[in-house]
Amino acid sequence: MDDLRDKYLGLIGAAEDEAALETLRVDAVGKKGEISLKMRELGKMSPEERQVAGPALNALKDEINSALAAKKAALADAALDARLREEWLDVTLPGRTRRQGTVHPVSQVTEEVTAIFADMGFAVAEGPQIESDELNFDALNMAPDHPARQEHDTFYMSLPEGANRPPHVLRTHTSPVQIRAMQAQGAPIRVIAPGRVYRSDYDQTHTPMFHQVEGLAIDRDISMANLKWCLEAFVAAFFEVDSAELRFRASHFPFTEPSAEVDLRCSWVDGQLKVGEGDDWMEILGSGMVHPHVLRWGGVDPDQWQGFAFGIGIDRLAMLKYGIPDLRAFFDSDLRWLRHYGFGALEVPTLHGGLSR
């Protein structure tokens, strides 16, 4: 048995391919292999001899099988390495310039607006984009037959079968956030509510989804004078001019009384907007003193508190400040457009460092 072990272990170690290894397996442990023939001789032995020879032959067979398996695995690994060296192919992408991402103009202007109003003491309030009919309309003093409540202007959510309530809507303004903020915080309060809003409209200056920022300030002695100063300071800071002149025109909004449209003095020279000079006026936002009905919905006593509110289109501000001609391009996902109008990701707007660079 020692001679058989030494013989086959040596031959297995020297085998150069799997074919030679298979031949050795047949010669050693195949049906007519040398070790198999030795095991057949066990029947001719005495019981005492079988007790010694049987375990020894089984151990020899297991050792040879293990050596065959190990050698087969080694040959397979060597063949794979050789194949990988011969068939190697570089599948990596060619080198390209690393590009830095850019910030969307809407995000940039939102940060600019937030920085300006934060300096005036306004906090940022947020709310859901799917809003109840009650908070989106009723709480804002909008009559049941108001045109804004019609399906041609507002996106309504479908109701579950058997539901006994008005359907929810995609909010048409961020004004419901003001109600939620008053209900949660009470008065006094000073917040802005930037976010997405939805209306059924689509052309060069309107899209079904756009962005607004609304402001709310409530205290015991706030007046239209405070509103005028706040908006003038905001416009001057946003357009980065020394001063801005605003004109308030009487208007009507259900949620404010009195209400005013706000126009900005400007000039257009060769298609370029210049703020604070010239003989032209451009409407930029709506504002007014918060209606007592709205205060009550927010849990604020209108006999003790009063305040102002305003609403501005963020997309429109971006178009005016950065000369973007078409609102629809904001939502086209065109990287060329974003590279042209986008902003550096690390250039965070601040009043002391500059809003836009």
d(CA 213, CA 302): 24
Q: Is 356 part of a structural domain of the chain?
A: no
**For a pLDDT cut of 70, what percent of the chain falls above it?**
98
Residue 35, pLDDT above cutoff 80: no
The Cα–Cα gap between 225 and 217 comes to 13
Helix (H, G, I), strand (E, B) or coil at 161: coil
User: Domain check: are 262 and 332 in the same one?
Assistant: yes
Q: What is the pTM of this model?
A: 0.68
* Residue 208 and residue 200 in contact, taking contact as beta carbons nearer than 8 Å: yes
Helices assigned H by DSSP within 45-144: 47-86, 105-119, 133-136
The CA-atom distances, in angstroms, between 66 and each of 33, 54, 346 are 16, 18, 63
Instruction: Give yes or no: residues 265 and 317 share one domain.
Output: yes
**Host domain of residue 276:** 103-344
How many domains does one find in the chain? Answer: 2
What pLDDT digit, counting tens, does each position of 170-219 carry? 999 999 999 999 999 999 999 999 999 998 876 666 778 889 999 999 99
At residue 357, the pLDDT reads 60
Q: Of the candidates 86, 118, 140, which is a domain's last residue?
A: 86
Query: Which bin fits 333, alpha (ψ -120 to 50), beta or left (φ > 0)?
Result: left
Q: Are 81 and 191 in contact (CB under 8 A)?
A: no
* Residue 171 and residue 41 share a domain: no
Q: Give the residue from 52, 86, 120 where a domain finishes.
A: 86
Answer yes or no: do 164 and 275 share one domain.
yes
281 and 251 in one domain?
yes
Determine contact, residues 175/311, Cβ cutoff 8 Å. yes
Render pLDDT for 146-175 as a digit per residue (tens, 0 to 9): 887 777 788 888 887 777 778 899 999 999
CATH number at residue 268: 3.30.930.10
Residue 95, domain member (yes or no): no
Count CA within 13 A, CB hemisphere, residue 69.
Answer: 6
Residue 29's φ and ψ, nearest 5 degrees, are: -120, 10
Contact present, 257 and 289 (Cβ < 8 Å): yes
User: Is the predicted pLDDT of residue 97 greater than 80, yes or no?
Assistant: no
Q: Omega of the bond prior to 302 within 30 degrees of 0, cis?
A: no
